Amino acid sequence: MQVRAKSDSETPKSPRGRPRDPNLVQQRKEQILKVTTHHFARFGYQDTDLQVIADELEIGKGTIYRYFPNKEALFRAALDRGLASLRDLIDQKIPPGSDPLAGFASAIEAYLRFFREQPELVELFLIERAVFPGRTKPAYFIQREQDSGRWNEVFRHLVRQGRVRPGNTDGVLNAIGDLLYGTMFANHLAGRNESPHEQARDILDLVFHGILGPDAREEFPEAHKDARRKTGKKR
């Protein structure tokens, strides 16, 4: 089996013949990924037939293979495309200079709204793991970990300000992240249709104040003073 030479540095040679427009390549990929996302989400991975996608796009099946080496790469590109749009959203929802707590609240609602509007991406998350089990950490978590540092700083700042109780910052942030992650799945899988706004309000009420009344708060006291197990490693 021969391997195509693939002259990496692309010696431009004589630019005769049909020139390749790199912009067009991006457009084409985008078109393909859009339809692809829809099919994967609707029919699952195995039951998505690239021929059907090609037919819908009115291109040849071989054309898809010109842009993506195989079905899995196509799937991952669709997934990455969705995650990129999530990241864009989060980035723009936390305007620099805004109040951190308000920004936090706003980000939560934006997150919920995003996945309400992009239910197909939720399906891709499921497929990634279900079809390629145990291969790599899911792309969602890779991205989340990349973002975690930023949130961590915000939180530590708020603790210093006294607006957020001290405690196991990492643990709490994970819990909040998991709450949102779980909510995203649950909304989609259980077919809920509560409005993102109200849902965000409920979540924030829980996350900000907890569920206990004043008396019970004394009964089950906060775990703050020595809550540095994870972070502090202190003696």
Partner DNA sequence: CATGAATGAGTATTCATTCAT
Partner DNA sequence: TATGAATGAATACTCATTCAT
Chain residues binding DNA by CB under 7 A are 1, 3-4, 11, 13-14, 16-20, 24-25, 28, 46-51, 54, 58-63, 65-66, 69-72
Expressed in angstroms, the distance from the first to the final Cα of the chain is: 61
Residues 32, 35: Cα–Cα separation, whole Å? 6
141 binds, among DNA, its own copies, none (CB under 5 to 8 A by kind): its own copies
For residue 169, the minimal CB distance to its own copies (Å) is 10
Residues 179, 199: Cα–Cα separation, whole Å? 12
Q: Is 14 in the site for its own copies (CB under 8 A)?
A: yes
Contact at 8 Å (CB) between 95 and 106? no
- Specify the residue, 91 or 194, whose C-beta has the smaller distance to its own copies: 194
Q: Is 31 in the site for its own copies (CB under 8 A)?
A: no
Between the CA of residue 126 and those of 123, 131, 135, 141, 221, what are the distances in Å? 5, 8, 14, 13, 38
* DSSP string over 13-31: ----SS---HHHHHHHHHH
Q: At residue 222, what are phi and psi to the nearest 5 degrees?
A: -60, 150
* Interactions with its own copies, residue window 84-123 (CB under 8 A): 101, 105, 123
193's tokens: 């249709």
- Specify the residue, 73 or 223, whose C-beta has the smaller distance to its own copies: 223
For residue 230, the minimal CB distance to its own copies (Å) is 7
154 binds, among DNA, its own copies, none (CB under 5 to 8 A by kind): none
For residue 126, the minimal CB distance to DNA (Å) is 18
- Specify the residue, 133 or 191, whose C-beta has the smaller distance to DNA: 133
160 binds, among DNA, its own copies, none (CB under 5 to 8 A by kind): none
